[in-house]
Each structure stands twice: as C-alpha cells, then as structure tokens.
Amino acid sequence: MAARLQGKVALVTGTSQGIGRAVARLFAAEGAKLILNDLRDSPQAEVLLAELGEDKAMFVAADIADEAAVRDMAARGAARFGPIDVLVNNAGMNVFAEPLAMTAAQWQRCFAVDLEGAQHCSRAVLPGMLAGGGGSIVNIASVHGHRIVPNAFPYPVAKHALIGLTKALGIQYAARNVRVNSISPGLILSERVVEWLAGLPPEEASRQVELLPCKRIGTPEEVAYTALFLATDEARFINATDILIDGGRSQLYHE
C-alpha cells in the first residue's frame, strides 16, 4: 500500500459490516488511525477491532441520532489519536413504507439516522478541522438520492436531503480547506443485499443482475476506494459534489 492516509485520523460510522467495514479496513491499510463506530457493541465490531489492532483503531458504540453521544465519541477519538482529519458518514438505515401507511416514528427515525446523524457527526468534527487547517467529510448517500423507486418512501427523501447537506456544507467551508463530498452507491453486495437476494426467487435475483449494464453487482471495496480517494489530497479540488457508483444503472431509461 502507498500509505495515502499516513498520519491522518479518520472517524467512520457504521463499521460493523458492508461499506463501513470495507472503508475502515482500507483506511487502516493506508496508514490512518481509526475511530470505529456502530450503534452497539457486536461480535462483528470486536472482530474488526482485533483485526485492525488497538494501536491503530478504537471502537465507540453510539447512536448517531444522539448529538451528545456523537460529540462524546469525537472527543474520545481526538483524545486518543489526535484531531480528526477525515469523517466518513456511512451509518444509515432503510425505511421503506407506503407514504399513507408510514408511521411518524418511521419518518422521524429515518431522518434522525440518515440525515441528522451525518449532520451531528459533521458538527462534531468541523471545529477541529477548521482549527487544524482543513479536512475531508465523505457522506455515503445512495442512488435513491438521484432516482425514485416506488414503495421506498421515505428513504429517498432523506438521501436527497443528505446530498443537499453535502453541497451546502462543502460550499460553506470551501475557503477554509474543508471539503465535503458524497458517494451514491447503487446495488452493492453488503450483507443486507446478499440476504435480500437470497430471499428472492432465482429468476428475480438473476434479473436484478441483468438490469445492471456491467452485468454484475458492486462490492463494498469499490465504494471504499472512492471514499479513500475523496479523503486524500489527491482529490483536493473536488468539493460539494456527489459520485454515483452504480455500474451505470441509473442512466438507463427502461426497466
């Protein structure tokens, strides 16, 4: 590895599986010290921490919807490893409901995690980034922030808003060397997607693959490499933008 994040400290949320775990592994391999996060302690979190080593990583269980808990997590991470240079807002949740049948609790929880959680984490790290002369925030949005799928409400509403948050924060702090960008993954082979595909009839699972122009599903590592690029100085002139990682699927007109 080229140690592209040597000397950097990164906070990555939602690291127990999928994209978050892939980001954490890649960032650690590239020299970063890691503050790992998930909603609660889990065997997966313990395994990842043991893999990366406690000299390079620490784990903090925290609900990112709780701003006080997020501030405490960021403070503990900075106290352990130093000022946070990179934030990857990966933690999120799917809430798919029919709009008239959706409960107020479903709406509130979706936005509390998928939008406000990213805002809480950003507010926690921005003062240190600004004081230190810069930093990079990468928000994991979704192809749902670009294209609407029926029966997926209110998830795409929150992801559209997350992309808006990305652009607004990126412009707000551009002159102070803080870049804020987002990544919008399409169908990615996370654990949840693997489980979902396994529950489909074989012909429908095959159709999901055939819908993709490249005829394969993306991997968490492919998203992680884009997050790595955005986190480094290689992307120093990229700000307030969103990168789609969906194999070209969202460009198709037909189903």
- Note whether residue 194 is domain-resident: no
Report mean pLDDT in 10-residue bins for the chain, 255 residues. 90 97 98 97 95 97 98 98 98 93 96 98 98 98 93 95 98 98 95 89 91 94 98 98 95 73
- Note whether residue 213 is domain-resident: no
Check residue 79 and give its pLDDT: 98
Q: Is 81 helix (H, G, I), strand (E, B) or coil?
A: helix
Check residue 196 and give its pLDDT: 87
Q: Which domain holds residue 241?
A: 9-187+219-247
- Note whether residue 30 is domain-resident: yes
pTM: 0.96
- Strand ranges across the sheet with 242-245: 57-61, 33-38, 9-12, 86-89, 135-140, 178-185, 242-245
- Note whether residue 174 is domain-resident: yes
- Note whether residue 4 is domain-resident: no
Check residue 254 and give its pLDDT: 64
The total domain count for the chain is 1
- The CATH number of the domain holding residue 50 is 3.40.50.720
Check residue 41 and give its pLDDT: 93
Closest C-alpha among 239, 15, 241 to residue 146:
241
Paired sense of beta strands 153-154 and 96-97, if any = antiparallel
CA distance 37 to 187: 23
Check residue 255 and give its pLDDT: 58
Check residue 252 and give its pLDDT: 84
Check residue 230 and give its pLDDT: 98
Helices and strands of the chain, counted as H and E runs = 9, 9
Check residue 192 and give its pLDDT: 87
253 in active site:
no
- Note whether residue 87 is domain-resident: yes
